[in-house]
A and B are shown apart, each in its own frame.
Chain A
């Protein structure tokens, strides 16, 4: 099954060991960005090379891999990454969250709660939470070392002062284990609370930026907010049109050129399982048509 010319998981064993060492350091210092010797992968930077390297370093023949992009198993990039690992490792893959031992994800956390022993690998485009406030890496590393996070609170405050609320919808900054401010990768705010004390190990790989960081199981992950402006997640005024779930992140699908829209679960596995269990939505009966 796997391409004989390449090592199991594409990377050579020395490289995988180097990455695992970085992962161990990351787990030991939750939220701290560990620089690592990121390699060029046969997929482009920006396509999840960090996550792919982390997965390649930890995966074994007994693992069951699930790959999602925007919550779905069948988006093109998720399909492509899953095929890459099937080809390079020949291990089993799944679309079921419950069956997976490793879940590589881009932009979502599955709706079904994860359990102990599972590993969630995030693909990270920009790992540095302070980057938009300070473009220089030499500066931001100092700021983390000195825990100099005032600028971030000022930024959030300025948002509230000028816009009435924190104008960050995804990749919302969090404080990990009471020490490091961390970017959760571009997951929607909706998913941020799922990181808090999650039973699964959460690993983050940024290939182009050459950083790995981690949140060990059951670790505190707290979104930054103010007492009088508490953190709040997105809500929708209707349930999923397919499975009727009222507590999930919904994708908005434009279904016609009159602005008709359908709202459905972004997590396809969760939605399918609910439908198989007999749950039904209104199928878009109340299709919204903008005039």
Chain B
């Protein structure tokens, strides 16, 4: 009876075996391969890469399979693998202006130089469940998409109506996968947390700013999704070499700003960037980024999304998932201490009551 409350090697081994069986499901149904996941559940793969902060569609697909489709678990698997990779350097900043665009839209202008390009979006589908039909042949654009596609921000920027893009950072940028988060956290560090942050959390936080908790009057200035080249300068070569392309989604959110003593009224910006096709996340990220700039822009900090420590400490789903679920580990020693304390306090209270009577 006593031993039964304590676990053991056998229990763990059995749990692993049961999990493997459940993962396979009914053996009469054909097993899926990681390639199928990578090709046919690609948005799920994209999210795992984005929050796992490792761009590797094959591994992300394999992680999703191993995690039985659980995104946060797959993200965790990718992160734990990522830790073990040696760091041999940092790439050059990617140039999203030079993106080979698959999709680019702006909500602030009816038309923009280069045109509105819908690309592969769910946006105007009717959400009716139907057997997924075989892929129709994709329509070909009559002429090749313009390249490079000018940025929408440039239109406003020329009039001085939009704040400038931050210039290249002189100091070394914090790498939050190597160093702990410190406060005050600069924007580069904050954007790193958001880029790795949980989509659901950021969505809720971003949404709250639209409902009045830190309202910032946002407009989707530009959303673009496509491929960019990653370049790396090897010290022994002295020039940049192309490592390959990655797919990114970028959101440039334009927000109102009343102006201050030194700055004329102008539009300010919130920024979102994620691996893969992750528009919901990129937009939410841009809203939260802008909300966290409240103090910098002289706005009153009142809402949760504007509270930098609150947002940054709670955005990571690997941390949150672990700590919330650690409550299922045994806590009987702490609980015993509390029991002893509560019993003692009750006894004292009873004694006082009796004495009073």
| Interface: B134 (CB within 8 A) | no
Instruction: Say yes or no: A40 contacts B79, CB within 8 Å.
Output: yes
Smallest CB separation, B331 vs chain A (Å) = 7
Report the Cα distance A171→B9, complex, angstroms.
29
Report the Cα distance A39→B83, complex, angstroms.
6
Smallest CB separation, B183 vs chain A (Å) = 4
> Which chain A positions have C-beta within 8 A of B79?
40
Smallest CB separation, B9 vs chain A (Å) = 6
Contact of B322 among A38, A170, A208 (CB under 8 A): A208
Report the Cα distance A72→B326, complex, angstroms.
17
Report the Cα distance A118→B80, complex, angstroms.
30
| Interface: A259 (CB within 8 A) | no
Contact of A41 among B6, B80, B178, B325 (CB under 8 A): B80
Report the Cα distance A6→B345, complex, angstroms.
52
Instruction: Say yes or no: A40 contacts B82, CB within 8 Å.
Output: yes
| Interface: B8 (CB within 8 A) | yes
Instruction: Say yes or no: A262 contacts B2, CB within 8 Å.
Output: yes
| Closest B residue by C-beta to A169 | B337
Report the Cα distance A36→B339, complex, angstroms.
36
Smallest CB separation, A38 vs chain B (Å) = 7
Instruction: Say yes or no: A77 contacts B319, CB within 8 Å.
Output: no
| Closest B residue by C-beta to A71 | B333
Q: Which of B180, B183, B318 has the most CB of A within 10 A?
A: B180
Smallest CB separation, A223 vs chain B (Å) = 14
Instruction: Say yes or no: B336 contacts A251, CB within 8 Å.
Output: yes
| Interface: B330 (CB within 8 A) | yes
Report the Cα distance A250→B348, complex, angstroms.
22
Instruction: Say yes or no: B11 contacts A76, CB within 8 Å.
Output: yes
> Which chain B positions have C-beta within 8 A of A211?
180
Contact of A35 among B182, B340, B345 (CB under 8 A): B182
> Which chain A positions have C-beta within 8 A of B319?
45, 208
> Which chain A positions have C-beta within 8 A of B82?
40
Question: Which of A95-103, A143-151, A182-190 is the interface stretch?
Answer: A182-190
* Chain A 32-64: CB-based contact to B (< 8 A → 1; otherwise 0): 000111111110111101000000000000000
| Interface: A253 (CB within 8 A) | yes
Instruction: Say yes or no: A46 contacts B323, CB within 8 Å.
Output: yes
Q: What does DSSP make chain A's interface, helix, strand, loop or mixed?
A: loop
Q: Which of B318, B340, B344 has the most CB of A within 10 A?
A: B340
Instruction: Say yes or no: A264 contacts B2, CB within 8 Å.
Output: yes
Contact flag A70-B318 (CB < 8 Å), given A40-B80, A163-B345: no
Instruction: Say yes or no: A79 contacts B309, CB within 8 Å.
Output: no
Contact flag A188-B2 (CB < 8 Å), given A46-B325, A125-B323, A137-B309: no
Contact flag A6-B318 (CB < 8 Å), given A188-B334, A188-B336: no
Contact flag A40-B12 (CB < 8 Å), given A164-B348, A169-B340: no
Report the Cα distance A42→B66, complex, angstroms.
14
| Closest A residue by C-beta to B86 | A12
Smallest CB separation, A255 vs chain B (Å) = 6
| Interface: B338 (CB within 8 A) | yes
Instruction: Say yes or no: A253 contacts B337, CB within 8 Å.
Output: no
Smallest CB separation, A212 vs chain B (Å) = 10
Instruction: Say yes or no: A79 contacts B7, CB within 8 Å.
Output: yes
Instruction: Say yes or no: A40 contacts B2, CB within 8 Å.
Output: no
| Interface: B210 (CB within 8 A) | no
| Interface: A24 (CB within 8 A) | no
Report the Cα distance A262→B5, complex, angstroms.
12
Q: Which residues of B pack against A, CB within 8 Å?
A: 1-2, 5-9, 11-12, 76, 79-80, 82-84, 86, 177-184, 309, 313, 318-319, 321-327, 329-334, 336-341, 344-345, 348
Among all A-B residue pairs, the 9 with the closest Cβ atoms = A46-B326, A45-B322, A76-B7, A169-B337, A44-B322, A210-B180, A188-B337, A40-B79, A35-B180
A-B contact pairs, 21 of them (CB 8 A): A12-B84, A37-B180, A38-B180, A40-B80, A46-B324, A46-B326, A46-B329, A70-B333, A72-B6, A77-B330, A83-B12, A137-B309, A167-B345, A169-B337, A208-B319, A208-B322, A249-B333, A250-B336, A252-B339, A255-B1, A266-B333
Q: Which residues of A pack against B, CB within 8 Å?
A: 6-7, 10-12, 15, 35-42, 44-47, 49, 69-72, 74-77, 79-80, 83, 106-108, 125, 135-138, 163-165, 167, 169-171, 186-190, 208, 210-211, 234-236, 242, 249-253, 255, 262, 264, 266, 268
**4 additional contacts, CB 8 Å, given A125-B323, A266-B336?**
A83-B9, A165-B345, A170-B333, A251-B333
